[in-house]
Amino acid sequence: MTTTIASPMTLPCGVTLPNRLAKAALTEGLSDGQNRATEAHQRLYRAWSEGGAGLVITGNVQVDRRYLERPGNIAIDNNGGEEALAALAHAGTVGGNQLWMQLSHAGRQTIRYLNAEPVGPSAVPVKLPGGAFGKPRALSESDIEGVIERFVRAAAVAQQTGFTGVQLHAAHGYLLSEFLSPKANLRSDQWGGSLENRARLLLTLVREIRTRVGPAFPICVKLNSADFQKGGFSHEDSQQVAQWLQEAGVDLLEISGGTYEQLSFFGTGAEGDKAPAKAQSTLAREAYFLDYAERLRQVCRIPLMVTGGFRSLAGMNQALAEDALDLIGLGRPMCVQTDLPKRLLAGQCTEAPRYEERLNIGPGVLGPASSINRIRNFNHMYAQGWYCVQLLRIGRGQAPDPAMGPLRGMMGYLRNEWRGVRALQDR
């Protein structure tokens, strides 16, 4: 029987997803000054739950309030808020979908205005123009044990408050991704050096969390297909880690790629390892990381989710029918059209909106001839700001505004960020 987006999917742990569409993790920026969930989260996640996706994954929930990706992150760090998390979990599952909490630690990619001294596996700073991130302090052995405890405790809180699974964010240059990277991880102890040692933290977390939550609670990992930097985490490294994750009992692997130093997860090009974003076969089949997923299938049968680039129903169904992956991740289109999965499943539309093309922002706008990273980053900041403001509107009970211009979106995003910074300073 041919697999389509409407086909149910049973995970290794026994949980069944009602269809093959997933709302991928999107940073929300809606927490209060104590980094707790709010009523705005409930509105947003109720809309996504009612939108028809079989799986909804939250934006990154931080396990340490000192190291945030942005001021509006939810955090689980002895800051209370369990009742608010339970209310979010209830709202986010009204549609009968799975709701998984993405657990993360920003590591050295903690914005400087939140913490001037972030942490990482080694004291290797993020190489970005403008000095957005401070020089990190290398984590000690006891610090690493503390990180493990924080992740495990957060997973237990997720389960206790009604979330139906967790995803560990080990991509995009955040802490778990940093440990995997030989460029960011220069350690010579059991946590660095060989790939086995660099993967030790991630694999330890999977085992410890499994022990805490039991065999029937889904555990997912978001993993880079590569960092797309010369000397960084490679395709071959990723394939080996994926095999180890399968042996550890992970239920789903979401494939992504890149870091803030190389924005391949937004579909830009890259130096070093070749990013798949501009490959002809990838453009023909839309998804940025589908080529890699197909290669991974040759060495590993862990269920796969690919996010980034999927827009047409035909492309989604073709990828599923060819067994290139198991789950289609939808991200930015669902910042505006929260019921996109329901529309696709009902045959009411055959393609997701391509807002970035009309607005001249985001992936694909700067062609391969552009090699100035600063311009690329500026372009992606406009895209991030515009999409984030749509989530803020939904959280406030307003309708998304697809007619909003990119400059207005960026200004609204920045205003919200500074309000969040002031709220954290006042706590």
pLDDT in tens, 353-366: 988 877 776 554 44
Sign of CA dihedral 315, 317, 320, 321: negative
pLDDT in tens, 60-95: 999 999 999 999 999 999 999 999 999 999 999 999
The better pLDDT of the pair 128, 189 is held by 189
Domain 9-356's class?
A: alpha beta
- pLDDT at residue number 276: 44
Among candidate residues 238, 241, 320, the one with its CA nearest the CA of residue 276:
238
**Domain coordinates in residue numbering, the chain:** 9-356
The better pLDDT of the pair 37, 230 is held by 37
pTM of the model: 0.91
